[in-house]
A = this chain, B = another copy of it.
């Protein structure tokens, strides 16, 4: 029986371990080279009319698969009387099923390791990315539809197994209509041999991978953010190895993960603020046929915005040519330009705070969720007057290197989105900018975000992704490889 109270300390220890007991640096390189071979995929963009078994249904006005499963593209009319844009229509991906994103963890040499897999998706840039142990739709996991069994799925289906994390979280509310996935972290003490394409990595190893572009996939970043984390720098050894600037930041980050640290607002105040925004905001959505969307053109090629903004819905034809060959075709949502997701951070009383925004989106289950300080596609803002630009966009985009704590481009879900990527930034606050006083922004500690992440639909996908990136900065960069590698 493992004491749940020890989880944060065990997670911190795994994050300090930059070199795994099971997969050393050479093993990791070999595994990845093999995985790239194993998951090769050829993706060709094709007109929607050429998709196999997908069709634009003129009566329903949807783009759907003949079997009715998977997902659909529907039209959505949005009324938001108090918003900057009071009314608009858009295509949106509808996938009401709740899938499982499952990460299996196990101790080796007393250190938690995560079983990850190399997984290719048609919309990925560069093929495979590092994914959780299981990514399964409900159709997979209730076995309603045909399709092979999902490896390791049974480990997440046994409700009696110890779960460190089990919470449904949303996906992008601008692109998905009420899509949610069940983020799970389940611990095993049994021997589990990694299947081909899988390997055991510590959190410290995953944190190193998070420094690189397009490598850790969106689902894994989401799950990592939901872990009951404590900052790895929290131990007594943090002070010794610290350099002046780095240590101040890492110490503040460590304290930010501590629920007892002083925060700008109490959790009651945060909940009051969220409830107020969710109750006050009038947001009405109504599904309409795609053909009724005035600003969008739907034809046999694609669904596109009339001014070429935001995104297209296009088709891809896929040949997965690894060890076994599979072919299929499907639509993907293809953003017209790259995104930005940024947290502005600062310390109050030595405790790092991130500036979160309560952001309303039409596809969210509950009106608004906590989002990054800035989240946008800058190119889509070009036509707007300066007054309509979201707050702090220019502050974040203009930040000099001395303010940037983290910068990498991370990929969104390549199973539904085509080359959707966002530059992730963690940026020190500029002392000359006034961040306070805006009703939809609040400074929060990581411990406060962690407390809300135990529950559904408080912290949006992009904010979870940034939380995972921010936590990757917490560890002392010196490696702490455990001695010996038994088993």
Contacts and interface: CB of A to CB of B under 8 A. Distances in A.
Interface of A: 4, 98, 138, 142, 159, 163-164, 166-168, 182, 266-269, 271-273, 275-276, 278-279, 282, 366, 439, 454-456
A269 B3 CA distance: 12
A61 to B, nearest CB: 19
28 contacts: A4-B266, A4-B269, A98-B279, A138-B279, A142-B282, A159-B272, A159-B276, A159-B439, A163-B272, A164-B268, A166-B268, A166-B271, A166-B272, A166-B275, A166-B276, A167-B271, A167-B275, A168-B275, A168-B278, A168-B279, A182-B275, A182-B279, A267-B454, A268-B454, A271-B454, A271-B455, A366-B456, A455-B455
Nearest to A273: B159
A358 to B, nearest CB: 12
Contacts of A269: 4
Given A167-B275, A455-B455, 12 more contacts: A4-B268, A138-B279, A142-B282, A159-B273, A159-B276, A159-B439, A166-B268, A166-B271, A166-B272, A182-B275, A182-B279, A268-B454
Contacts of A98: 279
A313 B384 CA distance: 52
A268 B184 CA distance: 12
B455 A268 contact: no
Output the residue of A163, A266, A279 with the most chain B CB within 10 A: A279
Nearest to A284: B96
A269 B275 CA distance: 26
A452 to B, nearest CB: 9
Contacts of A166: 268, 271-272, 275-276
Nearest to A163: B272
A163 B455 contact: no
Output the residue of A182, A272, A439, A454 with the most chain B CB within 10 A: A272
Contacts of A439: 159
Contacts of A164: 268
Nearest to A275: B166
Contacts of A167: 271, 275
A163 B268 contact: yes
A455 B142 CA distance: 29
Contacts of A163: 268, 272
The 8 closest A-B pairs by CB, nearest first: A166-B272, A163-B272, A159-B276, A166-B275, A4-B266, A455-B455, A98-B279, A182-B279
Contacts of A267: 454
A458 to B, nearest CB: 9
Contacts of A366: 456
A205 B150 CA distance: 59
Contacts of A282: 142
A218 to B, nearest CB: 20
Contacts of A272: 159, 163, 166
Output the residue of A269, A275, A278 with the most chain B CB within 10 A: A275
A150 B202 CA distance: 58
Contacts of A182: 275, 279
A321 to B, nearest CB: 34
A20 B266 CA distance: 30
A343 to B, nearest CB: 24
A83 B455 CA distance: 26
A134 to B, nearest CB: 14
A286 to B, nearest CB: 13
A168 B368 CA distance: 14
